[in-house]
Structure 1
């Protein structure tokens, strides 16, 4: 089954790719093109990314793109509350695979803070994100449970995080898997992106998307909040 066979909203554009390498190259080309356009129009471009294992090839392709990275601001949709040196750190992942070479000239705004509590870390990150320019490109992932960023079903603070017009930019969240403690941008901030892209791989993710588009309870599957806006989905087996 191809993603184009799903009954997606008319505002959602779905693209199929034969393998992860082709998806990564196409996604990098798209993102870089949008960043160049934003720089030309506004003098600065803002990119918000998701972590995990799947984006590594995309990060490597994006790092080879030629553009004025000194005019790009990069941040993360979510983060594990672990130091940058920790194997599970999304910031650490970016530093290894994206923020290298010319891309190191970009300004990186991370979410992790070495505070006494997760709540304090989220409060500090919320204030720092006030400096984030308008988001030009947002690249999201999705879990098999329908979570995106660290907006997990049944997570503490989910109702506040999913407010369409909330005042918070970042909230503490709790994942069902280790590491449990997370920091996540809220729906309000994520949904403000000029271009949102969902990048997913595997037949399991098609099954999850099929379930997501068949319902409307965003607390049950937070990805639903982003499937009814202007969105591009990149998928490969």
Structure 2
């Protein structure tokens, strides 16, 4: 259930993804009066957020949540919530409602229940889930080698949110304590859009299609499942 869209340049990539997200949100509002969107952090989606924020949608009927979050203050520039508030929930989109993952709990594990309540506010299945991918094949904060990766990737998992300790995972960076949506939670979407750039990530993606061990290459779980349509958008 995976389609690839290879774009000539990043500007056309961002524009196509913006329009696709807007279409899904519009359909959601038309069908049920509300719509939901899950979005990633990082630098790659920021241009999409900026373009989407100018779209004339019924934003007051749209709820937004991060796919994952670093367990740091939401005013920190490395916080995904901070990025969403700075780049997406501005201009026309300032009327959208943000449902955060971060809460006052000391650790992600202690904060799971509160994060779960927050995510449960979103209309589900999510109308559109936008994800990125790391060079190690992770998405959200589902890192290969993370202590909770098996639990997070379990198809029978009923939790929507799970605390992740990514210590020792090379691409996790400085802030290794995370909250992430689980694989089943992310798959409970009308559409998943995977936004990637650069030849290296495209090679990782195509190599992951044949990987059977989702704990080694988490992205393979998205590519090989039959539950939810996945659209991959790429440009160099």
- Whether TM-score is above 0.5 comes out as yes
Alignment partner, residue 145 of structure 2: 154
Provide, for residues 83-117 of structure 1, a one-character-per-residue CA deviation record: whole Å limited to 9, x for no partner: 11111000000111110122111111010112222
Determine which of 159, 163, 167 is the counterpart of 1:172.
163
Determine which of 67, 74, 83 is the counterpart of 2:73.
83
Contact 2:66/2:101 (<8 A) preserved: yes
> How do 1:173-192 residues align onto structure 2 when only pairs under 5 Å count?
173-175=164-166, 176=169, 177-192=173-188
| Structure 2 CA distance for aligned equivalents of residues 30 and 61 of structure 1 | 12
- SS in structure 1 opposite 2:43? coil
Contact 1:83/1:114 (<8 A) preserved: no
Contiguous gaps of at least 5 residues in structure 2: none
Alignment partner, residue 5 of structure 1: none
TM-score, normalised via structure 2 length:
0.93
Provide, for residues 190-209 of structure 1, a one-character-per-residue CA deviation record: whole Å limited to 9, x for no partner: 00101111000000101111
The answer to whether structure 1 residue 122 and structure 2 residue 121 are counterparts is: no
Contact 1:50/1:78 (<8 A) preserved: yes
| Structure 1 CA distance for aligned equivalents of residues 174 and 230 of structure 2 | 29
The answer to whether structure 1 residue 39 and structure 2 residue 29 are counterparts is: yes
- Aligned-residue Cα RMSD (Å) equals 1.1
Alignment partner, residue 218 of structure 1: 214
| Structure 1 CA distance for aligned equivalents of residues 192 and 207 of structure 2 | 20
Alignment partner, residue 208 of structure 1: 204
| Structure 2 CA distance for aligned equivalents of residues 37 and 133 of structure 1 | 13
| Structure 2 CA distance for aligned equivalents of residues 144 and 121 of structure 1 | 28
| Structure 2 CA distance for aligned equivalents of residues 57 and 122 of structure 1 | 30
For residue 145 of structure 1, report the CA deviation from its aligned partner: 0.4
TM-score, normalised via structure 1 length:
0.93
